[in-house]
């Protein structure tokens, strides 16, 4: 995987379950993101389920609906927002990111944000491709690292 961990080791979260929440608006791009995400989760010994939604704005509410479900160690948000001719791009890019960040901070959820916000399809393909920038794998790694931090803090509190 092309420099995926940037020197970080992948945490061993054998058996931990993650929910991949994906926006299918750009299905071919998402297929590439999911490939990298699944590979990274499997590399850490994790299990996963996938929830498919129409667009990126639906991702934060969907994660919020699942936040009380203790079966998930974390979440991976995947999607692609490509700039168009209107300001809709700014709204979707900003609000989906804000919603994910708010959930992570307020509800202490382990969320990896793999929603691409790009100028064009070529940029999206470069970032989504698991053999190139592998942003799906990066998002999975982020969720896994945050889940491991939470697990370690819980273990220290129990000691």
71-100 burial, b for 16+ CB within 10 Å, e for fewer?
A: ebbbbbbbbbbbeeeeeebeebbeebbebb
Within 13 A of 139's CA, how many CA atoms are on the CB side? 32
In 104-132, which positions are buried (b, 16+ CB within 10 angstroms) versus exposed (e)? Answer: beeeebbbbbbbbbbeeeebbbebbbbee
For the annotated catalytic residues, the residue numbers are 88
Rounded distance between C-alpha atoms, residue 41 and residue 51, angstroms: 16
């Amino acid at each position: 995987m092309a420099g995926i961990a940037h020197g970080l080791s992948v945490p061993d979260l054998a058996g931990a379950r993650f929910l991949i929440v994906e926006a299918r608006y750009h299905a071919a791009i998402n297929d590439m993101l999911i490939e990298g995400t699944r590979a990274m989760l499997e590399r850490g010994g994790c299990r996963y389920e996938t929830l498919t939604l129409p667009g990126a704005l639906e991702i934060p509410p969907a994660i919020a609906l699942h936040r009380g479900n203790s079966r998930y160690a974390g979440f991976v948000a995947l999607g692609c927002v490509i700039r168009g001719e209107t300001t809709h791009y700014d709204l979707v890019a900003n609000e989906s990111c804000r919603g994910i960040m708010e959930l992570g901070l307020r509800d202490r959820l382990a969320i990896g944000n793999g929603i691409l916000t790009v100028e064009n399809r070529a940029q999206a393909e470069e970032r989504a491709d698991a053999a190139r920038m592998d942003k799906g794998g990066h998002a999975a790694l982020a969720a896994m690292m945050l889940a491991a931090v939470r697990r370690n803090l819980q273990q220290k509190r129990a000691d």
